Amino acid sequence: MNVANLQLEGLVMAVASLNNLMVQKGVLSVDEIDLALHKAEANLTGEERAHDDLTPAGRDAVCFPVRLLRMANNARSDAHLPPFSELTRMVGRTKDPYNDQM
């Protein structure tokens, strides 16, 4: 695997852990984090370049970290976060096709 991919995996899981800690400490709720991540994904997919310059696979790549963080946020328990491999499977199972893929 590419070293950059491993670094991104670590970064995404670190952010997921921080999100989890903020929920545990009462700083933010699961719903507030989910809304912020939903808005981030909407911004990414709503940009013109997302439709003009990126293939559907490219769009999925851009949105993958946000989608994984949303999965981690919504699937977490007070005890732990699901492992990265499980979260990636969850992202894949919930991905809808884009309009140009139908």
Query: What number of CA atoms fall less than 13 Å from residue 10's CA on the CB side?
Result: 6
Blockwise average pLDDT, block size 10, the chain, 102 residues: 84 95 94 96 78 79 94 80 92 74 54
73's tokens: 């946020």
CB count within 10 Å of CB 72 equals 25
Q: pLDDT at position 65, please?
A: 96
Annotate 16-84 with DSSP letters as a single string: HHHHHHHHHTTSS-HHHHHHHHHHHHHHHHHSHHHHHT--HHHHHHHHHHHHHHHHHHHH--SS-PPPH
Q: pLDDT at position 5, please?
A: 87
pTM of the entire structure?
A: 0.84
Q: pLDDT at position 19, please?
A: 95
